Structure 1
Amino acid sequence: MPTLNWLIQESSLNNLRLITGENHILKEIKSVNVLDNPDVLKWFKQNELILTTGYCFKDDPMLQRQMIKDMSDIGCTALAIKTKRFFRQIPEAMIDEAKKLDFPIIELPYFYSFSEISQLIFQQIYKEKNTQAEHEQRFLSNFMQQILNHEPISTSLQQIARFFVIPVLLIDINYTPIASAFPYKNNDINEDDLRSLTDFLSLQIMKNTADSFCKINGQNYSLQTFSLYNQAGYLCFLHKQNSISLIPTSKFLQNIIQLLTFACVQNQTLSTSYSNNSTFFLHFLVHHKQNNVEEIKKLCSFYGFDYRKEWICLTISLQNIPEKAKSSFLPKLNKFVKNTSLEYCSIFTCFNNNLFCIYFLFPANYHRLQALHQVQNFALNLQTNFNEIPIFMGISACHKKITNISRAFKESLKSLQHQQQINDFKPGSYLHQIPLHLLNQSSSNLLIHNILQPLLDFDCQNDTKLVHTLKVYFSCNYNASQAAKILYLHRNTMLNRLEKIKEILQTDFNNSNENILIYLSLAALEV
C-alpha cells in the first residue's frame, strides 16, 4: 500500500508538507475520502486519507480540535488541508491538537484538485496490488516446485518466513513444535527451546487468544495460528510483542497452507495415526479431490458406504481431547454411535487421530430438513453425554450425488472451524451458517453501513450493548421473554431496549424483508 512518505516524497505531487505526525511517515493509505461537512466523519475508515478545504470548520477552533480527535480515534492516516483558499495557513488549534495526539496533518497546495489527488493514490494502490499478486504467484510456483522436489519441510518453512518477514513454527496436533524458521537463518530456535514451548503453545491455541507471550531468543512473541488442511497440526506466525500486525486470511495464505499440508503428508512430517481402515476413507475425503466416479464407487463399495442414499456429515474435532484420554474416549464415542437408532437412517463412520466423521445415510426420498433435525438432535445428545470434555462439531447440508461425499465433509469442517473461531461448543450447521460463508467483505460492509451502523454508533457513544441485545432477540425468534432470560434482564427492561432499537433502526420488526436484512447484517458482523 502507498504510504504518507510515498505521497509526500515520491509521488508526482509537489510542495506537499507534513506539518505534524512525523512518526507516522510510513503509515499506509488504503483509501481516500473528502471532509466537506462534520456529519461525514462517521463514514471515515481506518487508514483513510482525508482531504478538505477546511470550509466547514474555518471559524470554529473547538470544532477543529474535535475533528482532529475524532479522526485520530478512527485511525485515519492523515488530514490533508488545502491552504490559500479558506485558510492562509493551517489553524493553530488544529496543529496543537494534532501534536498532542501525534496525528499527521499535511498542507496541500491550492492548485491540486481533490479528484487529481484521489486518482493518483488509487492508481498507486491498484498498481501495488497487481505487483503483490505477481509476487505471490511467483512465490506459489517456487514453493510448489520445492515440495514436488521432496525438499525438507524446513526449507518450505524458511520460504514462508522470508516471504512474510516473520518467524514461523510448525507444530503437531499435540502442540509439540516440529520445526521453526526465521527470516534470517542465524536466529533459528534450538531444539531445547522448541520443546520448552509445548505448554505455552497448548494453552494459547486452546484459548485462541493473543494476550499472552512467550520468550524466544530473548524476544517476546505472540502467536497467530492456522490449522493445516488435514487438521494434523498448525502453522504459527510469531509476532513481536511491540509490533503485532496479523497476517490476513487470504486465498494466497490458504494456498500456502494447502501446499504445506501436502508437503507434511508427503514427507510424513506429522503423524496422522492411520491405524484402521476407516481412516483411509477419511484420508480420501481430505486429500482426493479429482477422483472419477468409478474410483469413488469402488472405494465406497470396499468400505461399505451406500452412495445410493442421501447423506449428512457430522464432523467432530478431537483436538481438545488430551492424547492419553483419546484411547478411552474413542471407544465410548463408537459405542454411543452404534447404540443410536435414528428413523430410516444408517450410519457410516471414519476417523483419524484428529477428526471423527459420522455420515448419516437416509433414503433418497426422505425429507431433507427432517433429516437435518435428526442429526442436530443426535449432536445435542452426544454433547450432553460427553459434557466432561468440550468438543467442537460441524454439520453439513444434505447431499445425494456421489461426487458430493467429499463436499459434505468439507461443509461440516467449515462449520466446525467457524464454531472454533467464535469459541462456541454448540453443534454448528453449515446451512444455518450460509450467510457467513457467502457474504464477502464488500457486501458485509454494505449491509452494516446501511442497516446496523446507527445502532453500532449508539453503542459506541453510550457504552451500551444494543447490537448484542438485538442478536439474542433474533436468535430467540422474536421472543422477548426468552431473550430477557438469556440476557438476565427483567422483561420490562428488555422491552424498553427493543423500543430503543426500533427507534434507532427506524423499524418495528413487522416487515419480513427488513428482518432478513437485519439478520444478514448481524451475520456480516462475524465475517
Structure 2
Amino acid sequence: MKYPPLTLGWFIYETPIDNLEFIGEDEALNKTITGISVLDNPDGVKWIKKNEIVLTTGYIFYNDFEIQKKIIADLHAIDCTAFCIKVKRFFDRIPDSMIEEAAKYGLALVSVPFYHGYTNIINIINENLIEQKILRQQFILSEAEKFHESFFNREGIMKMLERISNYTNSMTMITTTTDFPIYYRIPPKEYGDFSKIHKLQVQPFNSLPEKTPKELRKRNFYCNDTLLTFHTFLLPDNKHYLCIDITKKEIDTTIMEVLKQIFSVLALELTSMQIQNRAFSQENYYDSFFYMLSDIKNKSIEEIRVICDAYSFPNDLKKVCITLECQSKESKLFRSLYNAVNQGLIHLGHKYFLCHNENRIVIFLLYPKQKPNVEAVSLSNQAALQLSDYLKDYQTFFRLGISRCHTTCTSVAKAYEESLQTLHLQTSDRQTTHIHSYTRQFAFHLLNQLTTYEREKIYEDTVSSLAIYDSENKSELLVTLKAYLENSMNLTETAQKLFIHRNTLTARLSAIKKLLCSDITAIEDIFRLYLGICAWELLKDT
C-alpha cells in the first residue's frame, strides 16, 4: 500500500475546519501540503517553503494593494500550495483586487472564518503530516522485511524481482555491470505483448559510464524492437545492476526508499546463487554472514541484527575475533583443521561462534558486557595460545590473528577486519611466530594510520642515525636496541636473545646511547625510540 500525500482538497473538504471557501482553479485542489506557516510580517515570506499553506489575518497588507501584489507574487515564486486569509477580522471578505491578482499567477486563495484559531488549524495539519510520515516509514520497513524473509526462506531472486515489479508496475531486470541481462520480470498487465515471447531479447543502447552521478544513472535498452529507459542502481557487490523501467513514469519516492533498504539483500541473494563447489559442501552456509562483514558500511543496524539473528550470533555480547588463515588450499586438510579447531574450542570451554570462508576459519570469543576489555583480550590471547598448542600438528599450515575487544552491534565487522590486519602486518616477527595479536602490534597499527611522510619523519627523528651507522660499519646497533627494549632492558635476556656476550651487549649499548644522545632511561625516550623502530620496520618492508 502507498500513502497518498495530503492535498489542498483534503484540507478544504475533509478536515473538521468548516466553512472554508476555495478561490482558484480546480487543479490547485490536487497540490500537496508538506507544511504550514503563519505570515504576520511582509519579510516573513522568505521563510516559507514550497508546498506549504500560508495563514494570515491580512493585517500586514490591510488597505495596501502594493504589498498585497508583492506578497502574492512572492508566494507564487515560492510555489506555496495556498494563501489562507481570515475574514471578519480586517477584511469582511477577500478583496476582488486580491482575487484578480492571485488569478494572474494561478495562486489558490482560501477564505477562513474568523472563529478558527491558528493553533487548531496548525495542529490538524501537523498531526496528519506526522501520522502520514509514521505510516510511510512503517510501510517501508514492513516491505523491506519481506525481502529479508524471502532471502532466509530461499524464495529466490525471481520472487524479489516480482515484488519490485509489482511496486513499480514496470519491467525489472538484474544485469551485469557490462549490461548483460541475467534475470528479468515483466508485469503481465503492463507488458502483455512481451510476456507472450518465449525469450526476451534485450540489447543495451547508449550505456552510460560508471562515473555518471547516481541520480543520472539511466540506461536505454532495446527490448525486442522497443526502446525502453531504465533507472539503474549499482548493487553493493559491485557486480550487478538493478534496472527498473521508467519509460512511462518515474519511480515513486516511497518505493525508492524501499529499494534503498533492499539493495544489500539483492546482492546477498545473487552472491548465494553463485556459490558452487565450496570446501565443505555445494553451498557455504556462512557466505551471507561473511558478505555482511565485508559490506557493513552499507547496512543498517536492523539489517545487521537480522543477519546475526539468522545465524544465532549473539551480537549483544562483547567479542574478540580470532582468524586462522590456512596456508594450503587443499580441502581435506582445511576440513581436518576446521574440525580440530571446533574440538579444541569445546575443550577450552569458552563461549564462541565458529564459521569459515574460503581459506579462513573465524572464531568470535564472546564475553558478558560487564567484562573489562583488557580482561577479555587477555583471556582471548591465552585461549589462542592454548588452541595453538592443541593444533600443534597443524602449526605449519596456518597463521592466527587476534583482534581487540569490541562491544557495539556494528563492530563485529571491525573485529574481523582487525584480525586480518594483524595477520597481514609485515613485521620482523612474522616468520618466527604464527600467532599475531592486534594489541601487541598496537604501535604498528597506529603508525599504519599515518601517511608515509609522517612515518618517515618519526623514523628520521629517532633511530635513523643507528641505521646509517649500521649501513656504513656493517654493525647491528638498531637490531640490538630493538631486542633490548623488547626484553624490558634486561641485559642477560637480551644477550641470550642475540646470542652475544653480555660485555659485547654493554659495548653496543654505549655506542647506541652516544649516537642517540640519550641514556634510554626516561619513559618518553623509551616510547619514542620504540615507535621509531616500528616505523623503521614498516618502511623497510615497503
TM-score under structure 1 normalisation? 0.50
Aligned-partner SS, 2:261: helix
Aligned pair partner of 1:371 in 429, 449, 469:
449
- CA 1:211–1:261: 2 relative to 1, 3 Å: closer
Amino acid at match of 1:286: S
| 1:15 corresponding residue in structure 2 | 19
Other-structure match for 2:130: 126
SS at match of 2:246: strand
By how many angstroms is 1:37 displaced?
A: 0.8
Is 2:345 the partner of 1:267?
no
Q: 1:156 aligns with which of 157, 160, 164?
A: 160
Among 89, 98, 114, the alignment partner of 2:93 is: 89
Letter in 1 for 2:237: N
Quote how far apart the aligned CAs of 1:247 are.
5.6
> Following TM superposition, by how much is the alpha carbon of 1:115 offset from its aligned partner in structure 2, in angstroms?
0.9
Out of 58, 64, 69, which is 1:54 matched to? Answer: 58
Q: SS in structure 1 opposite 2:111?
A: strand
Q: Which has the larger radius of gyration?
A: 2
Q: Which amino acid aligns with 2:442?
A: A
> Could you report, residue by residue, the CA deviation over 1:27-53 in whole angstroms, capped at 9, with x for unpaired residues?
221211111112112211222221112
Structure 1 contact 174–202 (Cα < 8 Å) conserved: no
Once the two structures are TM-superposed, the CA of residue 106 in structure 1 deviates from its matched residue by 2.0
Inter-CA distance 166–128: structure 2 relative to 1 (3 Å threshold): farther
Matched residue, 2:84:
80
Deviations 1:220-279 (A, max 9, x none): 8755443222222222344356767656864x443322222222223349xxxxxxxxxx
- Where do 1:269-418 residues align within 5 Å? 283=291, 285-286=293-294, 290=308, 297-299=323-325, 302=359, 307=401, 363-366=441-444, 368=446, 371-374=449-452
Inter-partner Cα distance in structure 2 for 1:211 and 1:235: 11
Q: Which consecutive unaligned segments of at least 5 residues does structure 2 have?
A: 276-286, 297-303, 328-358, 361-397, 405-424, 431-438, 456-542
Residue 260 of structure 2 corresponds to residue 254 of structure 1 = yes
- Specify the code of the residue in structure 2 equivalent to 1:134: Q
The verdict on how the C-alpha distance between 1:141 and 1:115 changes in structure 2, with shifts beyond 3 A counting, is: same
Residues 1:46 and 1:76: Cα distance change in structure 2 (over 3 Å)? same
Relative distance call for 1:213 and 1:243 in structure 2 (3 A) is same
Deviations along 1:443-469, whole A, 9 cap, x unmatched?
Answer: xxxxxxxxxxxxxxxxxxxxxxxxxxx
2:38 is aligned, of 34, 40, 56, to 34
Relative to structure 1, is the Cα distance of residues 234 and 99 closer, same or farther in structure 2, using a 3 angstrom cutoff?
farther
For the residue of structure 1 that corresponds to 2:55, the secondary structure is strand
Specify whether residues 119 and 157 from structure 1 end up closer, same or farther in structure 2 by C-alpha distance, changes over 3 A only. same
Q: Is 1:114 the counterpart of 2:118 in the alignment?
A: yes
Q: Alpha carbons of 1:203 and 1:247: their partners in 2 closer, same or farther (altered >3 Å)?
A: farther
When residues 140 and 89 of structure 1 are mapped into structure 2, their CA distance, relative to the original with a 3 A threshold, is same
Shift in CA distance, 238/89, structure 1 to aligned 2, threshold 3 Å: farther
| Correspondence list, 1:191-270, <5 A | 195-203=201-209, 206=212, 208=214, 210=216, 214=220, 223-240=230-247, 246=253, 250=257, 252-268=258-274
Q: Which amino acid aligns with 2:243?
A: C
Q: Which moved more, 1:115-124 or 1:38-47?
A: 38-47
State whether structure 2 residue 144 is matched by structure 1 residue 140.
yes
Partner of 2:72: 68
Please, which runs of 5 or more residues in structure 1 have no aligned partner?
270-279, 311-341, 348-360, 378-527
Instruction: Tell me the C-alpha RMSD between the 2 structures.
Output: 4.6
Percent same amino acid at aligned positions?
25
Relative distance call for 1:137 and 1:86 in structure 2 (3 A) is same
Preserved contact between residue 322 and residue 400 of structure 2 (Cα < 8 Å)? no
Contact 1:177 1:194 in 2 (8 A): no
Query: What is the deviation of 1:133?
Result: 3.3
Show the counterpart of 1:411: none
